[in-house]
Structure 1
């Protein structure tokens, strides 16, 4: 399904690595991980000034190698998958006109869910939110678009600092389509952030073994459209699911409200899941039934229910996407379902529910979430009017008994 005229041999990828001398990293290791691609290190041009990723990004996006068809900018806390060069070149050949993120942060408000949704639906591509910041840890563009982005960034004051927000604004204004690779080809090494207010732990959303072959990326582009319809702020039923502070939450995107893409305001799943097509009783009944079938002791009850609910809602969303696909898509790979759930367990369970989890308890929690995903993926769809809460008389049914 590679686009006509594009094969991997046609891709000439330029690579730069953004670096600040305050960060103690083995740059040569990143350069080696890129080979046979030739990566060049771009240094912060004013390292003693107030920290600003944007300042270095301006240089990185302007440093396009001569003759390149595409340009990739990595940050110096990136960790690349095995066989990185072959995988990324094959991915580009399949979507040569797109902006491609090779990573999304496991707790980003929207893009993490969209990556999990694509993984569970079985797609190698996750269309990203047009409103949330672009995952700048590892992002690439066609060379001409990258040069235009460099010109766009140049006059923006360094004090703005956030290159990811400015890249998102550029892509939104220019109509650049954005995708994330699934699984991700880059992880965050988890180094301390250099910018105030950007703390916490940061890792990839779907970090799974590398794809087995170049054909992994070759799915019908119309599938991208079906997934993109879940995050375009055009319909009342667009939503994302999050696990944060050991709670499963739902955020309705609410088109036309002007809410920022990074808005943290969410609703507790048990109170609002009716709006996304499932009753809380169904979720909890399935949870109890699953626990009854377990051969050993169940995981910690409250946190386990939250992971179960998140997995159940994720599978429900992926099933809806698969029903709407214009062409069939192969089933999801179990390892990617587990990767999507494990990043929820590791990022979303906090306090005694998370940091205190031993290896066996963590595995049991991931098993639980993956089981919930699988169950709801194969769940029979209910009457959509009932799911939406439409009264029987309003949907034309005979209410006489």
Structure 2
């Protein structure tokens, strides 16, 4: 039987959020773990050390939440179901929509109709709402206790801990929470704090046709940033670097001919205003490559999963420049959905022949 212990990492500046967050966690009863130095330099790690040690007796799994999250309705029951499906894993309920690898892996799982997305063992682990089996949670608390608070970021330490101990980590698709604030207390963490796929009106995993499907990470991920599509290597490229390989040049790394991508796009781009073509070509490339990846990784999938529109729309919202978003957003979404479908269908046909 799953028994979940819970703790909330809390900063006094957010005291007004605690009552509603506790109600949203019910019937879980999280311990509220305050920052021991609230006037010191911001350090999630400082509070995370104590939150991971605040484990209830008799628990099988321990959840640590941050105090700036917005939980989906029925969070506790959905989380229990998610843990029951992966009881030996680390389970996250959230992933930022612009992370270099993990956000792509979430979108990939959403398009395939999967209820879990495997997360990268090299990119920081989303720790806004993270669960571990208690034996790992205790070990993590001991591990974090030996790291100076000045290191600051708990998520970068958690991924190292899980990788070194061989703990697989997944996130729920859709996520069970979104970020509740536009800004973070930590400098440099204040932009784009949104979930990759958050659909609070859709319960996990009832609406998923392939709830047990878990896609293996590929060798590449696709990014859309500032209206430019790029490809990043899952292994070899430092996660922290800000630049990917331009998609046309890097397509061979993904096993795709770039001219195939452009040929498929041509009928959809012809007749568009010249102003729209550059950005919409990049959107087509990103989403077509995503469709190809899903078709290759999940060949038994009957078609795009029900969360595909949400995953694609969040990619468009995150990936366009402000001007392109203002002027082209609707057209880009329609084009993106068609690109994913064609990438999935045409790659299946090509592989079959």
Same fold (TM > 0.5): yes
The match for 1:142 is 133
Q: Does 1:242 align with 2:218?
A: no
Deviation at 1:281, TM superposition (A): 2.7
Q: Does 1:269 align with 2:247?
A: yes
RMSD after superposition: 2.4
What is the alpha-carbon distance in structure 2 between the residues aligned to residue 217 and residue 80 of structure 1? 24
TM-aligned CA distance change 1:316 to 1:118, over 3 Å: same
Alignment partner of 1:345 out of 316, 329, 346 = 316
Deviations 1:264-299 (A, max 9, x none): 3311112222332333332223223134699xx899
TM-aligned CA distance change 1:138 to 1:315, over 3 Å: same
Deviations 1:132-167 (A, max 9, x none): 000011111111211111011111110010100011
What is the alpha-carbon distance in structure 2 between the residues aligned to residue 31 and residue 126 of structure 1? 27
TM-aligned CA distance change 1:218 to 1:288, over 3 Å: closer
What is the alpha-carbon distance in structure 1 between the residues aligned to residue 281 and residue 317 of structure 2? 15
TM-aligned CA distance change 1:378 to 1:188, over 3 Å: same
Q: Does 1:281 align with 2:253?
A: no
Q: Does 1:303 align with 2:279?
A: yes
Structure 2 unaligned spans of 5+: none
Counterparts of 1:1-400 in structure 2 under 5 Å?
10-23=1-14, 25-208=16-199, 209-211=201-203, 216=208, 219-220=211-212, 223-224=213-214, 227-230=215-218, 238-253=219-234, 255=235, 257=236, 259-291=237-269, 300-323=276-299, 328-329=300-301, 331-334=303-306, 336-354=307-325, 356-357=326-327, 361-381=328-348
- List structure 1 runs of 4+ shifted beyond 6 angstroms: none
2:346 is paired with a residue whose SS is coil
Deviations 1:100-124 (A, max 9, x none): 1111110001001111111112211
What is the alpha-carbon distance in structure 2 between the residues aligned to residue 65 and residue 116 of structure 1? 34
What is the alpha-carbon distance in structure 2 between the residues aligned to residue 298 and residue 32 of structure 1? 52
What is the alpha-carbon distance in structure 2 between the residues aligned to residue 202 and residue 298 of structure 1? 33
What is the alpha-carbon distance in structure 2 between the residues aligned to residue 69 and residue 144 of structure 1? 8
TM-aligned CA distance change 1:22 to 1:212, over 3 Å: closer
Deviations 1:200-233 (A, max 9, x none): 111111122423655859845xx43xx2241xxx
Give TM-score scaled by structure 1 length: 0.81
2:84 is paired with a residue whose SS is helix
2:253 is paired with a residue whose SS is helix
Between 345-354 and 209-218, report the one with greater CA deviation.
209-218
Larger radius of gyration: 1
What is the alpha-carbon distance in structure 2 between the residues aligned to residue 260 and residue 291 of structure 1? 35
TM-aligned CA distance change 1:363 to 1:25, over 3 Å: farther
The match for 1:6 is none
Give TM-score scaled by structure 2 length: 0.91
Contact kept? 1:190, 1:201, Cα under 8 Å: no
What is the alpha-carbon distance in structure 2 between the residues aligned to residue 321 and residue 196 of structure 1? 38
